[in-house]
Amino acid sequence: MFKKTVILGSFVSWVLINPALAQIPNSQSSSTGFIGTVGGYRHIFGQGSTFGMDVSVNDVLGHDFKRRLSQRNVLFDTSLKRELSVLPSFSFGRVINDQFHITLGLGVGMTPSKQRTDNVLGNAPAAASQAALNFVPSVGAEYAYTKHLSFIGNVSYETNRKVNTHLAQNAAPAVPGSSYWSAIKPKFLRPKAGIIYRF
């Protein structure tokens, strides 16, 4: 059923996040959901080897990460948000039989990240934004359900650059002149499942 073709589809994903906070080196992982669309082209060579190029656009459902932290008996709410992620990638694969196809891929994630830190006592919040390019390796599989429809599964890993925020001007009221820094360098493990149409 596999042949060189243009593909178009959609997917859902549940992302496991290691936030790697500076204040809590061993903080627990978090998770959130993605929905997205993918489109691209796949070429199949004579021996069943494949080469593909695609672009996926992901929309994040909710915050990637949100935690309440305590420093000097003062509470701070820290959150990280990625609203939209664009991921162009290429892949090499192998057709196993008429219904199964496996791939190894490498993409470049283009993701703007927004971090916000709030002092629970009501002082002014701090926010920072950063857009970064991140390499995203992946492994995937495809099951051809009909001549044109396939179910896909994919697992990718992404490490983002560090995002910093700084609360100044008496972040801890009991300590005059105090300030509060928050740094997050998130790592994303993203299992993904969806359906594509092969033209």
Query: pLDDT of 103-144, one tens digit each?
Result: 999 998 877 777 777 777 666 666 667 676 788 999 999 999
Place of tokens 């959130």: 32
As given in the structure block, the two tokens for residue 36 are: 């997205």
DSSP 144: E
Q: Residue 163 and residue 77: Cα distance in Å, rounded? A: 15
pLDDT for 22 equals 44
The burial of 127, by beta-carbon neighbours within 10 Å (0-12 exposed, 13-18 middle, 19 or more buried), is given as exposed
As given in the structure block, the two tokens for residue 131 are: 């857009």
Give CA separation, 87 vs 54, 63, 160, in Å.
8, 19, 13
Q: Residue 4 and residue 46: Cα distance in Å, rounded? A: 11
**Residue 29 pLDDT > 80:** no
Domain 5-64+85-114+131-163+184-198, CATH class in plain words: mainly beta
* Domain limits, the chain: 5-64+85-114+131-163+184-198
**Residue 38 pLDDT > 70:** yes
Place of tokens 């492994």: 139
What's the chain's average pLDDT? 77
For the whole model, what pTM was predicted?
A: 0.75
